[in-house]
Amino acid sequence: MTAVLTLVLLPFASLFWGSVLALRDGGAVVWEWVRVLFLASMFLGLLITLPEHAPMALSIALGLIVVMQIAGFFAWRLFGAGVPVDDQ
Amino acid sequence: MEWILPLERINLRSVLSTGGKAARLGALLQAGFNVPGGFVITADAFQLHHPVLLEEPPPPPILTSAFRTALAEAFQGHFAADEQVAVRSSAIDEDGAGMSFAGQHATYYYITADRLEQAVIDCWRSLWSPAAQAYRQVWDQAMHPMAVIVQRLVRAERSGVCFSRDPLDPVPGTVVIEASWGLGAALVDGRVQPDRLKVNESGAIVELQIGDKQVMVPASLPDPTQSRLDPVPEHLRTAPVLTDREAIALHEATEQIEVLFDQPVDVEWAWDARGLHILQARPITSVAAPPVIDQRLVLFKPVAENFSEPMTPMSVDLFASILPRVGRFVRGRLYLDFDAVKPLLPVKASDAELVDILLLRRTPEKLSLSFPRFLASSGLGVVAWLGFGTFWARSARVSPDALEQLFVPWLKQLSDESPLPVSAFMRRAFFGRSPFAPVWQFILQLNISAGRYFLLLGFLRELIARFAPRFNLELLGDLVHNDADMWSKRMVADVTSLARIASESADSHEALSAHQLVEKVRMLSPEHPFLVALGRFLTRFGHRGPREIDLSTPRWREDVTPLLIMVRNQMLHGTTNEDDRYARHLVARDQLRKAMPSALMRRAAALLLRRIRYFMTLRENTRHYHTMVFDAVRTRLLATEHELRSENKLNCAGDIFFLRWHEVESLRTGRVEAREISTLIRERRIAHLRETRALPPETFGIRLPKSKTPDDANTLAGQCACGGDVIGIARIVLRSDQAHDLKPGEIMIAPYTDLTWTPLFPSLAGIVVGIGSYLSHAGTIAREYRVPCLVDVKGCIEKVPDGQRIRLNASEGYVELLHDLDEPVDETEGESDELPPITTMDSARKIALDLIEAYK
């Protein structure tokens, strides 16, 4: 159950974390607040209704998203970018 | 043993003592060609001073007094005491039938009697130059002595090179002529883009490309320490160097020289007040070999269709460091790795079909889904989403104003304060400092992420096709008409406004209509409204310019000429009217409202439209910020170049763009010598010029079925980007700032277009582009202005003569060359006869006004 919930929560966790950062970045602030608050209330609802599985699933989903964001940043810089150049 | 021989006494049999170049000059002189007089210092003189020939460079020789006397006497016998001469190498193995050694040995101009001895020694020593040594090594050649030619320096007004066969397309009888202003050194060194003409067997000019000749080597150099490269006066930059008669005379001379030597030749020539001079003739030994590629590659069309020229080595080097590793740069152009991309396309298709998709000629919709590839690409998509999915949310609502207010000061601060070297600066500007850095620091990823509007456009198309089948999908472009937040639209609006201000005052109108418009505009008073508006424009858009993707291209702030020409084009021919486009947008919106009965679906369509517009604006605006980064990088590179030139490590402006960044660092720290680098720059400049002339191969290593060619030799095929069928005069325009001869109602033939071409579009009857796709700049803007447009027409520049009457049937995808005898002049010439449902500006405006009235 926890694993399934984690998989379901992954896109929402990504959206939530992205919206938090967007709020900090200073985009369309009102809209980002709406998104953050909506997702936060959804997570809270889950924590209340599924207290056995939701805390772990939510932590893993959010943690994975943040870790993958860091990994993606460095993977892009270190391995993703760099087109070979033909010398001929 | 003769140390010195007059040129008149030399012929082809003298080759062992005078070298191939001198022997040919002697033969030309004896055959009656006008060769500048002079003498040759023979190989015997060389051997006198170099008794042993070793691969290692010896110390500079001390000239014997007998030789010095002979040299001084020869000079006095041939030239006036204060005359300047040219001193050129003529190695015994040079310019033979197999080896040309072109440019590997030294040539010196403006040499006076007192500098002659040193010039001769320097010529001899060029036998050991790194370039000559490398050349001998590559071609497995032994070392031979060197003769030296001392010749009268022709005060050339124009000069160039003729090839008796085109090295790229060797048709007997067809001569290729390259011509530029001043002495030929700038052309031979690849520093100038020359005019290029092809004259066929019967003496007709079958191809003419006018180069943008920015620099020239003057006929005389009073101060030998000053730079020998002068800027070409503005009115001559894009003026043809040769008249038709002169081109034909050169064709005849080249043909005669080929007959004389009984083999294809390239001939260096110069024209002064006394007529045509032949400076050199040598066998054509080689053509540029196609690159050997061990990968399957497909041209990356989104870059190529907006900039079909090769990038300079510095641009390639810096861009390569930030672009995703799914391709390869080949000779300055970006290619996709076909085998890396293929598994990501989840469709069942042959290689040829996949190539068509990657070249944006075909959409994958009509192909069936490949389940294994779908699984593979979905898996990769999930991994990519985990890594970059947060960015998807972060980029969903970045306000254009916030982006401007945050990115611009950040970049300025980075430029002013960052001690980073250029390559690291570029990466920092594009990649951000940390994964949690603010979103505007990821300007490249923002651009990539905004590409999702293609997907949303697909959804909208499906929605309309399903719920509003009566709606004409050709109006989709009008429907997604964008708002004023797009920088490129603001820029075009500002150019229009500049043109309006210029036309309101007689003196600015006159200045812009003049030939030497920059000088004339400079003469306006500083408070003139046009100059005030121009200053404001340059503050906002000075970092942009034509061919801005390449770092070597001057921006508008540095060279305002292309911008002024754009304003002039807009002033003389422009008919841009945002109101008309907005009117068409209203009409399209109304048609969709009528065609879509479901209110829910209408709301869904409106939501999709808003999102599409947002992402289109974001994508376009991030390009604007990319060019800001390019500008900051260019400024840093120019500062580095200035520093290196002041230390005499680089010779000429622009040299730094023909190096890679690590080579610049080696030059700075003294790990390589300026001399080696100068040879490298010269070779790269020549290679770059050669590549500029050719369209890039679309694929490497992929076997494709032969493309169908039109049955008629007078017909060229292409892809329709905006339908219509028109007849008109073809006008070849190679660059947007060279559209002097383009008149309203003509059909423009161009290699590619970018935003600086936009003001030309509204007044044209049609557009034909050598490279491009439906989504390219040419296609998009042509649809905006409803101008028939055919893209991806291979060979259009070469095969359509300038001024030829042609029929452009964009709807059916062909251009036909018309001959006046066959084709009566059409009354409707220059006007489209196939029009979309809402055809003219007037009718659109009228319907829109009616609608506004109705809404009131």
Q: Cβ A25–B438 below 8 Å, yes or no?
A: yes
Q: Is B138 on the interface with A (CB under 8 A)?
A: no
Question: What tokens appear for B269 in the block?
Answer: 């020539």
Q: Which of B324, B389, B394 sits opposite A80 (nearest CB)?
A: B324
Measured distance CA(B521)–CA(B414) in Å, rounded: 35
Measured distance CA(B423)–CA(B500) in Å, rounded: 42
Measured distance CA(B442)–CA(B347) in Å, rounded: 32
Single-letter residue type at A38: F
Instruction: Judge whether B716 and B710 are in contact, CB under 8 Å.
Output: yes
Please name the residues between 39 and 58 in chain A that touch chain B, using a CB distance below 8 Å: none
Angle, CA B295 vertex, CA B294 and CA B301 arms, to 5°: 135
Q: Cβ A88–B436 below 8 Å, yes or no?
A: no
Q: Is B290 on the interface with A (CB under 8 A)?
A: no
The residues pairing with B815 across neighbouring beta strands, listed in sequence order, are B716, B808
**What pLDDT, on the 0 to 100 scale, is given for residue B555?**
93
Q: Cβ A31–B323 below 8 Å, yes or no?
A: no
Fold category of B1-153 in CATH: Dna Ligase; domain 1 (3.30.1490)
**What pLDDT, on the 0 to 100 scale, is given for residue B396?**
84
Question: What tokens appear for B824 in the block?
Answer: 């009566």
- Rounded to 5 degrees, φ, ψ at B766 are -170, 165
Question: What tokens appear for B521 in the block?
Answer: 């505009």
Q: How far apart are the CA of A88 and the nearest CA of chain B, in angstroms?
A: 6
Q: Spell out the alpha helix ranges (H) of B4-159.
A: 15-30, 43-49, 65-78, 116-125, 130-138
* DSSP, residue by residue, B249-279: HHHHHHHHHHHHHTS-EEEEEEEETTEEEEE
Contacts A–B by Cβ distance under 8 A: 122
Q: Which of A69, A77, A81 sits opposite B390 (nearest CB)?
A: A69
Distances from the Cα of B374 to the Cα of B345, B370, B377, B381, angstroms: 8, 6, 5, 10
Q: Is B334 on the interface with A (CB under 8 A)?
A: yes
Give pairs for B819-824: CB < 8 Å, separation 24+.
Answer: B823/B727
- Rounded to 5 degrees, φ, ψ at B486 are -80, 125
**Residue for token pair 């109304």:** B590
E-strand spans in B317-461?
Answer: 327-330, 333-337
Tally of CB atoms within 10 A around B594: 11
CA-nearest residue of chain B to A30?
Answer: B397
Residue A30: partners with Cβ closer than 8 Å, 6 or more residues away: none
Cβ density class B467-488: b for 16+ within 10 Å, e for less: bbeebbeebbbbbbbbeebbbb
Superfamily of domain B155-287: ATP-grasp fold, B domain (3.30.470.20)
Question: DSSP 3-state assignment of B830?
Answer: coil
* DSSP, residue by residue, B38-58: EEEE-HHHHHHH-SS--SSPP
The segments of chain B whose pLDDT lies below 70 read: 1, 93-106, 130-142, 167-171, 189-190, 221-228, 285-291, 362-366, 418, 482-484, 573-580, 693-694, 705-713, 737-738, 740, 755, 773-775, 784, 820-856
The segments of chain A whose pLDDT lies below 70 read: 27-28, 87-88
Tally of CB atoms within 10 A around A20: 18
Q: What is the pLDDT of residues B421-458, one digit of tens each?
A: 888 888 888 888 888 888 888 888 888 888 888 889 88
Fold category of B715-842 in CATH: Glucose Oxidase; domain 1 (3.50.30)
Instruction: Judge whether B760 and B783 are in contact, CB under 8 Å.
Output: no
**Residue for token pair 């406004």:** B497
Measured distance CA(B74)–CA(B62) in Å, rounded: 19
Query: What's the residue count for chain B?
Result: 856
Q: How far apart are the CA of A50 and the nearest CA of chain B, in angstroms?
A: 25
Q: Cβ B427–A77 below 8 Å, yes or no?
A: yes
Single-letter residue type at A19: S
Residue B853: partners with Cβ closer than 8 Å, 6 or more residues away: none
The residues pairing with B748 across neighbouring beta strands, listed in sequence order, are B731, B767
Query: What's the residue count for chain A?
Result: 88
Measured distance CA(B746)–CA(B831) in Å, rounded: 10
Single-letter residue type at B193: Q
Cβ density class B423-436: b for 16+ within 10 Å, e for less: bebbbebbbbeebe
ipTM of predicted assembly, 2 dp: 0.87
Q: Cβ A85–B399 below 8 Å, yes or no?
A: no
Measured distance CA(A32)–CA(A24) in Å, rounded: 10
Distances from the Cα of B59 to the Cα of B50, B62, B102, B122, B143, angstroms: 10, 9, 25, 11, 17
| Domain chopping of chain B, boundaries | 1-153, 155-287, 297-452+628-693, 715-842
As a whole number, the mean pLDDT across chain A is 87
**What pLDDT, on the 0 to 100 scale, is given for residue B40?**
92
Sign of CA dihedral B408, B414, B415, B421: negative
Pairing of strands B146-152, B158-163: unpaired
Q: Is A18 on the interface with B (CB under 8 A)?
A: yes
Residue B49: partners with Cβ closer than 8 Å, 6 or more residues away: B61, B62, B63, B64, B67, B124
Measured distance CA(B13)–CA(B817) in Å, rounded: 51
Give the H or E element holding residue B338.
helix B338-341
Measured distance CA(B532)–CA(B526) in Å, rounded: 7
Q: Is B391 on the interface with A (CB under 8 A)?
A: yes
Distances from the Cα of B604 to the Cα of A15, B90, B190, B467, B477, angstroms: 21, 77, 57, 11, 18
Q: Which of A21, A68, A75 sits opposite B394 (nearest CB)?
A: A21
* DSSP, residue by residue, B166-181: BTTB--TT-EEEEEEE
Q: Which of A25, A38, A70 to mutate to test the interface with B (most CBs of B within 10 A)?
A: A25
Q: How far apart are the CA of A44 and the nearest CA of chain B, in angstroms?
A: 21
Distances from the Cα of A34 to the Cα of A19, A24, B129, B286, B608, angstroms: 9, 14, 71, 69, 20
Q: Which of B323, B392, B406 sits opposite A18 (nearest CB)?
A: B392
Measured distance CA(B356)–CA(B365) in Å, rounded: 13
Considering only CB atoms, which chain A residues are within 8 Å of B440?
A: 25
Tally of CB atoms within 10 A around B41: 27
Measured distance CA(B170)–CA(B268) in Å, rounded: 18
Q: How far apart are the CA of B667 and the nearest CA of chain A, in angstroms?
A: 19
Measured distance CA(B300)–CA(B175) in Å, rounded: 34
E-strand spans in B766-828?
Answer: 766-769, 789-791, 805-809, 814-817
Measured distance CA(B420)–CA(B429) in Å, rounded: 11
Cβ density class B365-387: b for 16+ within 10 Å, e for less: eebeebeebeeebeeeeeeebbb
Q: Which of B388, B398, B427 sits opposite A72 (nearest CB)?
A: B388
**Residue for token pair 């033969």:** B27
Q: What is the pLDDT of residues A48-71, one digit of tens each?
A: 998 988 999 999 999 999 998 898
